[in-house]
Structure 1
Amino acid sequence: MASINPYLIFNGNCEEAFLFYQSVFGGAFPYVGKFKDMPPAEGNPVFSEAEGNKIMHVTLPIGDGSILMGSDSNSASGEIAFGENISLSINAQSKVEADKLFNGLSAGGKVTMPMNDTFWGAYFGMFADKFGINWMVNFDENEK
């Protein structure tokens, strides 16, 4: 069965926020990626040095199986308004489950990134459901 974790989006202070959360919850960051780490590819924006140093993705395990995840917004995504800065991230156990969840939950909503293989090795997509809730669906075969 899939697991659901909160995904927080910041307007430039993600690193500061996650260092604070780490000071409270403890633990280590298994992954911290910056926008400058993205490989050049068609459709990927070119970031300034300042934007390149912003957090593209960070994870902080909390407790028994929960993971707090986050990133900064960038010029391609625009500034994020309070209330729109959180998504629910579903970690599926297979591509079939990921597609089922993505297609079911996105019905009547707005897809912002269709399910696709990514440069970081996951099968991933994003959307807002018909109620305006932001979702991310992820399947990472390497996490099995």
Structure 2
Amino acid sequence: MRRPTADAGDRRHGPGRVILALYLVFVIGTVSRSAAQISTRWDQAPLAYGLSAFAAAVYVVALVSLSLRGRAAWWVSLVALGVELTGVVLVGAWSYLAPERFPDATVWSHFGRGYLYIPLVLPVVGLWWLLSERGARARGDQGRSG
């Protein structure tokens, strides 16, 4: 009896499984942390905590879209990871240039230093995975432009 094999175009297998697991950890961590920050200390750092909540929302969108197949999910994933990478670079730089605006660490402040810089590396790895041949197969239109 043959064991079923994973569809080569499914991002939920191989390295994609590790990426999804990391996104799940970040969803749990960022949603709970931003909820706690906003509900207990909003007045101390509204900008930082608002950005923390935005980051949490981006991680949720990335997790869901990466776990789905099809062209629309692929494009949503591409945009979500692009926003994530842009966010961690901009907020990371901003947190060094204006540290008074970030009195408490957030997931993207200091380029994710409090999270072992994984927030900086994860979208790069995710984008590599999406743009790889296997990611294109999961999009459903490998070999075609657009």
Q: Which structure has greater strand proportion?
A: 1
Q: Which structure has greater helix proportion?
A: 2
Normalised by the size of structure 1, how large is the TM-score?
A: 0.25
Work out which of the two has the higher radius of gyration on C-alpha atoms and give 1 or 2.
2
